Chain A
Amino acid sequence: MNPFWSMSTGSVRKRSDTEEKTLSGELRTSPLRASAKKQLPSIPKNAVPITKPASPATSSQSTNGTHASYGPFYLEYSLLAEFTLVVKQKLPGVYVQPSYRSALMWFGVIFIRHGLYQDGVFKFTVYIPDNYPDGDCPRLVFDLPVFHPLVDPVSGELDVKRAFAKWRRNHNHIWQVLMYARRVFYKIDTTSPLNPEAAVLYEKDIQLFKSKVVDSVKLCSSHLFDQPKIEDPYAIIFSPWNPAIHDEAREKMLTQKKKPEDQHCKSMHVSGLSWVKPGSVQPFSKEEKTMPT
């Protein structure tokens, strides 16, 4: 999964068995792979590149209490750090990528692998307020309004606010929003819905609800190959399976073990030294002959 900034290296998770199966099945049979046309970078080795905020006017002075001229760096780096946290989180089936134009806009896609929304592939965009982290919680808008009690049937916006009534720096992070976005498809909440119809159907007529969901999932899938809603070089784009491109990539993904060395050896030759036996705090406690090179 590495080539795709995977947040779900299945092996990490407890339930990875079923997940893995589904995942690889998806890979093999489905053309719906997240194969960004613009070659996604092999891996975010360091982090996202520095980008500029979306709205030029207000961006630079958003961090309060900081040396004014350095403010922009704080915002940029905060967002970089947020992205790093997302990567660390390894959310199953959730992928994001900051846009080319603004670090405050992230493109994403969620794969739903179980439940009512199974097989759903929902593209979305996260909008981070430019006074982050001191502003409201980020907004998350699905490209297509998924039929869901918490998704606005017109705008496609997910009701994120209910989970993050007040965005608290240090406490709240963007990965939590992503986790929440995934979660709503597994745990349906019908209270104060943005889509009352969905809520009512879910409560009163689950069968109809289900069929509407299926329709919605299908609709999203049928639009999967559409041009991205927002023109951006880093927008997530799906394309039909093309063996010439994808076979090799898939092969790589399937065979690639966790060998960070491979990815980094070109750029970094440095290796540290250690003769400390694991668990010990004595220097040179490791037995001879097990020296690293």
Chain B
Amino acid sequence: YMCSQVLATGLSALYSSLPRKIEVRGDDWHFLRREDWIGVSSLVLFMNSLEFCNAVIQVAHPLVQKQLVDYVHNGFLVPVMGPALHKTSVEEMIASTAYLDLFLRSVSETALLKTFLRFVLLHRHDNMTILDTLVGRINSNSRLCMVSLSLFRTLLSLNCEDVMLQLVLRYLLPCSHVMLSQKRAVRDLDIYGKTAAKFLSLIPRCCRPESPPLPQDRDEEPPSWARGHGSPGADAPPAPKPSTPSRLSFFMRQASAGPAEAAAPRSPGPSAGSPPRPGPRDEVAELDRNYLEYLRDARHSIDRCAWACRVWSAPYDGEDPRAPGPAPSPDSPPGRPPGPPTPRTKKRGLPEEGAREAPGGPLRGDEPGGGGSGPEPRDGGTLVNGAHGTAEPGRPEGDVVVKKVRRSPQGEGEGGKGALNGAPRAQPPGWEPLPSVDSLLEELLARVPAETPGAGVSIETFTEELREIEAEMQNGGVGGAPATSTEPPEPPLSHEEEEAFASFTTLPEGDAGTGRAPPRPPDPLAQVVASPPRAVGPPPSQPFTGPFVSVLFGKLENMPHNSLYVNFLLTGLVAQLACYPQPLLRSFLLNTNMVFQPSVKSLLQVLGSVKNKIESFAASQEDFPALLFKAKKYLIARGRLDWAEGPGAVPALRRSDTLARSRKPSLGELLLRHANSPTRARHAAQLALQGLRDGGLHPLAPPARHGEALRVRNAVYCAVIFSEFLKELAAIAQAHAVTSPFLTE
């Protein structure tokens, strides 16, 4: 069909007339919104044309559709978009990246979207996929970084398996990033909130609510949780039950040990009518309320994501799909532990191939070399932290092996080289040499005897008779499975169930979470210990979690030096990533009990390093509390202004709500209430800051020494964002454990 060709070539022609350089409005600009391009006639023309393509594809015969899609690919994307993305001038890169992002957001037809994605994921320009090039650019300086982050935000929001596969999952599939003994922990869920606790513990001391003198009174602040759970608002995730705000309020009240205000906050709407909480506001309560919002958002995001991902081809749980590549070496694992399998896993069988030995495959040995992408620092300074912060004394559970693999400070931050805003890097003080791998091993060994109390525990409590039964049952029915010598009149218990029962009453080790997770081997420690070279030796090929994760982590590590806007986008992207329910990804980002290969950096390590940087900065900055307070205050102030006057960024309801209350919301509320998604909230806060700057209200800029001022400002804002980010991650970690099975089944 001629028209197809015309359409596609038309796109090319129109694209060539687009501005090469985007007129920038403020240094927080990072993506093209409608109001940005509606005034640019060439862009309007292009968008109309693209929209037309989209519409044609919507109604066209499949053949026409295919043809048009091919033309778009071969006639526009490859010859025009590809080179445009690879222009050498940064301005042009920024423009083309922003255009691509805009196009991706505008295309609604699956077929057309597929073409775009195929182009991004698979097309090679100068022997690099577009994707890798774009990933690398996250590492560049501010503006290009922000535009690239926006593009990835768009990509992640598609919940597209192909995208996630290429970006992250294929690097995780071989499970080479985890210690072999940990492989089956991939699916574990943290049901007791330990991960959340871990994240929250990383909130820098200087940002803890109790430490800074915040004169700000929050008396007027309505309890945010009234809104969070009280109203089955349109934005709320499917309300699991008739809403029962009163229970919650009751709970919250006692939890925060707050004043005995009425259990009234069952406001029907978004908190507008909530009675003000009397009495002085204690920060803890504020945190709690704020945190509840994060919990709600996390639940919502994860539900959405899990629901969207049900169309995926595989669960990515460490078993399915299997990593491609060479067959697993036969001598791999120390073997499956004895002990009854659980009913729901035995049939699937646990892949025991020494996945971490699987070389090649999708593993890319190295990073995209060009494009300014900095490889994750894989320095030799990697050490193993012998401290086991989260290990519970004397309890043989799954997190026995909780050593955090840490990185020495020397190595950190290297990943973000290109991204520094010219600021000196604060070296975290107080880093002490960490115990080595050997000491980890020693410790494991030392704990072995103590960690096999399964039998002992039960025997002491059971009678002789039970011990006889125990003998009858395989592996000893230590749990006191009430089997009798008398045959039951009927066999009403399924074999599966019997096995399940036996498994949880006999095995000393259990799964750490889900009912369907396999039981741990009776002693994972023994397993680790049994194969020391395997467990701790240098892997044949350095495990690598992929350039995307690497770049993001590098950038995260550099947070104190990033601009506020970069940090908004960056943390939003990581949070987006953390919402994906695939066990491989979830465990990589959020399972703090997982032991990674020494060369693999964990999110927790990265955040720990940021925490140290912030704390050392705070220590070096005498007036840090004041600065922090100022930063929060102005964020909030501008946030309110933005709500009232913002260009349609706020839903009407919320806006009126805002107007109705002339009170100061907490910063977290600012960030969160602003929109339903933290990402948008970030954006809002970003706008707020822009206004702050433009309006001359700059709180943190001393008249002179601009560079220094910038450094300080970035660090202070980072402290604010970082703390909120940790809460967000903690909430996401908690929400994962309660994701409804109905969403994914």
Q: Which residues of A line the B interface, CB within 8 A? A: 13-15, 41, 43-53, 56, 59-60, 63, 65-74, 76-78, 80-89, 100-101, 113-116, 133, 150, 161-166, 168-173, 175-176, 179-180, 183-184, 186-192, 202, 258, 260, 263-264, 266-268, 270-281, 283-284, 286, 288-289, 291-293
Contacts and interface: CB of A to CB of B under 8 A. Distances in A.
A73 B291 contact: yes
Interface in B150-179: 158-163, 165-166, 169-170, 173
A75 to B, nearest CB: 8
Nearest to A132: B192
A70 B743 contact: no
Contacts of B740: 44-47, 84, 87
Interface string B585-626: 000000000000000000000000000000000000000000
B191 A81 contact: yes
B500 A166 contact: no
B738 A292 contact: no
A41 B484 contact: no
Contacts of A270: 159, 304, 307-308
A276 B162 contact: yes
Contacts of A100: 244, 247
A275 B162 contact: yes
B397 interface: yes
Contact of B200 (A70, A87, A278): A70
A272 to B, nearest CB: 3
Contacts of A65: 197, 390, 392
Given A192-B463, A260-B310, 20 more contacts: A43-B742, A45-B240, A53-B251, A65-B197, A70-B197, A84-B737, A113-B492, A168-B457, A170-B512, A186-B488, A186-B492, A191-B484, A273-B113, A273-B114, A273-B311, A274-B313, A277-B313, A281-B169, A281-B323, A291-B110
Contacts of A50: 229, 247-248, 251
Given A13-B494, A46-B739, A291-B110, A52 B248 contact: yes
B312 A284 contact: no
Contacts of B285: 69
A199 to B, nearest CB: 11
A162 B459 CA distance: 11
Nearest to B457: A166
Sort chain B's interface into a size bin. 35 or more
Q: Which of B240, B244, B248, B362 has the most CB of A within 10 A?
A: B240
Given A50-B229, A163-B479, A166-B457, A189 B493 contact: no
Contacts of A43: 742
B254 interface: yes
A73 B735 CA distance: 11
B299 A46 contact: yes
A191 B463 contact: yes
B192 A63 contact: yes
Contacts of B311: 271-274, 292
Contact of B504 (A44, A69, A171, A283): A171
B221 interface: no
Q: Which of A60, A190, A281 has the most CB of B within 10 A?
A: A281
A84 B461 CA distance: 30
A260 B162 contact: no
Given A169-B192, A273-B160, A281-B173, A84 B458 contact: no
A279 to B, nearest CB: 6
14 contacts: A13-B496, A45-B740, A60-B255, A77-B734, A87-B742, A166-B458, A171-B397, A188-B486, A272-B312, A275-B161, A275-B162, A279-B321, A280-B321, A281-B323
Contacts of B362: 281
Contacts of A172: 504, 510
A183 B483 CA distance: 10
B240 A49 contact: yes
A77 B737 contact: yes
B423 interface: no
A12 B324 CA distance: 31
Interface string B382-402: 000000001010011111000
A267 B304 CA distance: 9
A283 to B, nearest CB: 4
Contacts of B360: none
B742 A150 contact: no
Contact of B201 (A67, A76, A186, A279): A67
Interface stretch (B3-11, B76-84, B513-521, B657-665): B513-521
A292 B511 CA distance: 35
B742 A260 contact: yes
Contacts of B742: 43-45, 87, 260, 263-264
B234 to A, nearest CB: 9
B472 to A, nearest CB: 13
